[in-house]
C-alpha cells in the first residue's frame, strides 16, 4: 500500500503565503494550524476552533489548494479537524455554532449561488448608513432594473469602504432573479487585463472578445488599475460600446473619482462618467457600531456592546480595519479560551488602535507641521500669498496631504483657502517632479512626514 504524505506541499504553500501577507496576519492564522495526516488526494490539518476553521477556509483555502495543486500536480482536498486548546475547557464565547451549520448547508440550500461571487457580499449583509445610502440605493435600483436605470454605474471611494461588497451584491441580486441563468461576469481590472494579455499571446483575441462582448452583466472591480494601459483601454472601449449598445448593465469600482484618473484616454473617461458615479464615504460612529453588531450576529458570537463601542470609537478609517480588529479579538479569545472583557479588548487591540489613528491625519496637522518646518504660520499656507517662500511649502503640504490622507484633491483644495482641485494636482506633480530631479527633496519630505506621524500618534 502506498503511503501518502503531502506535508512537504503544505509547508511550501505556507511559505508562499508567508511572503504575501503581513507578519501579524501570518502569525495569527498560520501559527495555529498543524499538519495532521495525509491520505489519497487529501490532507488533514488541525485548527484550534471552529471559528478558526471558518476564517481560514474563507481567507486562504483557495490559495492553499491552488498552490498545492501547482506543486503536486494533484487536486488535494484540504480538510480540517478541530483540536481544542486543552488547558481550560470553558466555553469561551457563547458561539451558537450558527456559522458552521450555515456553511455546511449552503451548497444544497442556495443552488443559485454564483461561483465567482463571495457569498457574504450580499445586500442582506450590507449595513446602510449616511455614508453609503446613496450608493446602496442606486445599487438596489440597478439590481431591479439592470441596463435601464443607470448605465454604467460607478462606485468610487477609498479602501475598505465597501466598493467590492456592493459591486458583488448587485451581481448576487441579478443572478438570483434571472430565470434562465444570465451571463454574469465579475472580474477584477487586474485579471481582466491578464486575460486580455494572455489572449493576445496565444493569438486568440477573439476568445476574449467573445467572452466579454456577450455578457448580460459586467462587473469590473478597481478600474484605476487600467491607468497607463493603452492597449487594454482600446479593447475595453469596444467592449463597453458593444454592451452599452445592447443595453447590458455595467458596474465599475474605482479608488478615486474618474476625473482624477491619470493616463486613461478621454473617451474612456467620458464613458465611465456617462451613467451614474457615486462616492462611498467612511462610516460615522453609529454605522460603524451597526456594522460590528451585524458582523458578530452573522458569526453567531456574543460580544458585549461596550466592547463593540470601544472598537467603533477607535477605528474610524474604514470598514475593513474595523472587521479585522473584531476578528483578531475573537481569534484571540478562542485561542486562549477566555471570555472577552473590555480590558482584554484594550490590551489586544492597542496596536491596531494606534496604527489606525496614525493613518487618520488631519490636513490641519499637516499644515501646521509643514509651516513649522519652514518657519511660517500655517495661516499662510491657507492664504492667498503667492511668494515663493510660501508657495513652495504650500505645494509640499498639498502633496503630503494627498500621500497621507484619503481626501480627494477637491477636498484638499478647499482646506487650502478654497483652491481648485487642479491647483492641488499641479502641486502634486510639481513636487513629484522635484523629488525626481533634486536628491535633497526626498529627505526633507520624509522628515516632515515623520514629524506629522509623531504628532498624530500623541493625540
Ligand atoms: P473596498 O472594495 O471598498 O476596498 P470591501 O468591499 O472589500 O471594500 O469592504 C471591506 C470589508 O468591509 C468587507 O468585508 C465588507 O464586507 C465590509 N463592509 C464594507 N462596508 C460594509 C457595510 N456597509 N456593511 C457591512 N459590511 C461592510
Ligand atoms: Mg475592493
Lowest mean pLDDT among 223-232, 360-369, 388-397: 360-369
Distance of CA 54 to the CA centre of its chain: 20
The dihedral built from the CA positions of residue 338, 343, 348 and 349, taken in this order, carries a sign that is positive
Report the SS3 class of residue 266. Answer: helix
Residue 409: name the closest of 418, 400, 422, 397 by CA. Answer: 422
Number of CB atoms found within 10 A of residue 333's CB: 23
Record the cell numbers describing residue 316, joined without a space: 474610524
Record the cell numbers describing residue 115, joined without a space: 461561483
**92, pLDDT greater than 70:** no
| CA-angle at 293, arms to 289 and 295, nearest 5° | 115
Q: What is the mean pLDDT of residues 12-31?
A: 87
Record the cell numbers describing residue 313, joined without a space: 470609537
E strand intervals along 135-292: 153-156, 184-188, 217-221, 249-254, 276-279
CB-ligand 1 contact for 318 (6 Å cutoff):
no
**pLDDT, tens only, 181-228:** 789 999 999 999 999 999 999 999 999 999 999 999 999 999 999 999
User: To test ligand 1's pocket by mutation, which of 131, 160, 186, 220 has the most ligand atoms within 8 angstroms of CB?
Assistant: 160
- Say if residues 253 and 99 touch (Cβ distance below 8 Å): no
CB-ligand 1 contact for 393 (6 Å cutoff):
no
Residue of 210 and 103 predicted with greater confidence: 210
**pLDDT, tens only, 47-64:** 988 889 998 998 899 889
CA 253 / ligand 2 centre spacing (Å): 8
User: To test ligand 1's pocket by mutation, which of 162, 254, 255, 311 has the most ligand atoms within 8 angstroms of CB?
Assistant: 162
Distance of CA 193 to the CA centre of its chain: 19
Lowest mean pLDDT among 12-16, 84-88, 381-385: 84-88
- The span from the CA of 142 to the CA of 247, in Å, is 12
- The span from the CA of 412 to the CA of 444, in Å, is 21
The residue with cell 451549520 is 101
The residue with cell 431591479 is 144
- Say if residues 398 and 424 touch (Cβ distance below 8 Å): yes
**89, pLDDT greater than 50:** no
The residue with cell 486580455 is 196
Element (H, E) at 78: strand 77-82
CA 343 / ligand 1 centre spacing (Å): 27
- The span from the CA of 117 to the CA of 120, in Å, is 9
Beta carbons within 8 Å of 244's beta carbon, 6+ residues apart: 151, 152, 250, 271
CA 115 / ligand 1 centre spacing (Å): 19
Please report the pLDDT score of residue 452 as a whole number: 86
| CA-angle at 352, arms to 351 and 353, nearest 5° | 90
Element (H, E) at 351: helix 342-358
As a whole number, the mean pLDDT across the chain is 88
- The span from the CA of 396 to the CA of 276, in Å, is 34
- Look at the pTM and tell me if it is higher than 0.85: no
CA 70 / ligand 1 centre spacing (Å): 31
Please report the pLDDT score of residue 2 as a whole number: 58
Give the closest ligand to the alpha carbon of residue 317: 1
The residue with cell 536628491 is 439
Number of CB atoms found within 10 A of residue 431's CB: 21
The residue with cell 488533514 is 44
- Atom 19 of ligand 1: nearest residue by CA position: 162
**Cis ω on the peptide bond leading into residue 424 (within 30° of 0)?**
no
Polymer length of the chain: 459
For residue 159, give the ligand 1 atom closest to its CA. 4
The strands making up 153-156's β-sheet, listed across from edge to edge, are 184-188, 217-221, 249-254, 153-156, 276-279
Please report the pLDDT score of residue 355 as a whole number: 67
What is the percent of the chain where pLDDT is above 70? 92
End-to-end CA distance of the chain: 66
Using pLDDT thresholds of 50, 70 and 90, give the confidence band for residue 443. Answer: confident
Amino acid at each position: 500500500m502506498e503511503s501518502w504524505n503531502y506535508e512537504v506541499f503544505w509547508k511550501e504553500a505556507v511559505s508562499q503565503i508567508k511572503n504575501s501577507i503581513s507578519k501579524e496576519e501570518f502569525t495569527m492564522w498560520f501559527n495555529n494550524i498543524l499538519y495532521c495526516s495525509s491520505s489519497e488526494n487529501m490532507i488533514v490539518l488541525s485548527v484550534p476552533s471552529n471559528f478558526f476553521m471558518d476564517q481560514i477556509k474563507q481567507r486562504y483555502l483557495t490559495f492553499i489548494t491552488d498552490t498545492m495543486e501547482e506543486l503536486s500536480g494533484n487536486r488535494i482536498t484540504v480538510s480540517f479537524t478541530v483540536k481544542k486548546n486543552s488547558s481550560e475547557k470553558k466555553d469561551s464565547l457563547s458561539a451558537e455554532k450558527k456559522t458552521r451549520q450555515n456553511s455546511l448547508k449552503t451548497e444544497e440550500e442556495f443552488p443559485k449561488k454564483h461561483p465567482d461571487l463571495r457569498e457574504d457580499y450580499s445586500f442582506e449583509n450590507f449595513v446602510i448608513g449616511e455614508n453609503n445610502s446613496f450608493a446602496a440605493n442606486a445599487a438596489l435600483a440597478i439590481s431591479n432594473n439592470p441596463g435601464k436605470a443607470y448605465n454604467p454605474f460607478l462606485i468610487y471611494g477609498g479602501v475598505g469602504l465597501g466598493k467590492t461588497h456592493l459591486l458583488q451584491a448587485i451581481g448576487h441580486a441579478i443572478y438570483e432573479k434571472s430565470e434562465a441563468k444570465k451571463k454574469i461576469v465579475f472580474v477584477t481590472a487586474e485579471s481582466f487585463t491578464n486575460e486580455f494579455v494572455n489572449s493576445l499571446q496565444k493569438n486568440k483575441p477573439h476568445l476574449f472578445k467573445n467572452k466579454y462582448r456577450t455578457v448580460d452583466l459586467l462587473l469590473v472591480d478597481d478600474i484605476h488599475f487600467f491607468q497607463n494601459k493603452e492597449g487594454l483601454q482600446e479593447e475595453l472601449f469596444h467592449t463597453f460600446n458593444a454592451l452599452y449598445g445592447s443595453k447590458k448593465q455595467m458596474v465599475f469600482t474605482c479608488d478615486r473619482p474618474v476625473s482624477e484618473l491619470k493616463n486613461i484616454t478621454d473617451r474612456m473617461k467620458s464613458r465611465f462618467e456617462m451613467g451614474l458615479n457615486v462616492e462611498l464615504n467612511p462610516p460615522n460612529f453609529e454605522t460603524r457600531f451597526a456594522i460590528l453588531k451585524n458582523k458578530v450576529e452573522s458569526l453567531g458570537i456574543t460580544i458585549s456592546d461596550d466592547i463593540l463601542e470601544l472598537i467603533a470609537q477607535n477605528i474610524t478609517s474604514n470598514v475593513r480595519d474595523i472587521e479585522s480588529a473584531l476578528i483578531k479579538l475573537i481569534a484571540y479569545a478562542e485561542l486562549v479560551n477566555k471570555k472577552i472583557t473590555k480590558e482584554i479588548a484594550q490590551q489586544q487591540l492597542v496596536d491596531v488602535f494606534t496604527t489606525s489613528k496614525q493613518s487618520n491625519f488631519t490636513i490641519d496637522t499637516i499644515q501646521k507641521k509643514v509651516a513649522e518646518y519652514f518657519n511660517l504660520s500655517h495661516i499662510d499656507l491657507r492664504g492667498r500669498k503667492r511668494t515663493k517662500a510660501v508657495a513652495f511649502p504650500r505645494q509640499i503640504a498639498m502633496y503630503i496631504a494627498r500621500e497621507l490622507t484619503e481626501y480627494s484633491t477637491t477636498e484638499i483644495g478647499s482646506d487650502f483657502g478654497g483652491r481648485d482641485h487642479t491647483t492641488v494636482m499641479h502641486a502634486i506633480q510639481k513636487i513629484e517632479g522635484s523629488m525626481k530631479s533634486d536628491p535633497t527633496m526626498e529627505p526633507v519630505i520624509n522628515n516632515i512626514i515623520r514629524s506629522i506621524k509623531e504628532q498624530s500618534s500623541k493625540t
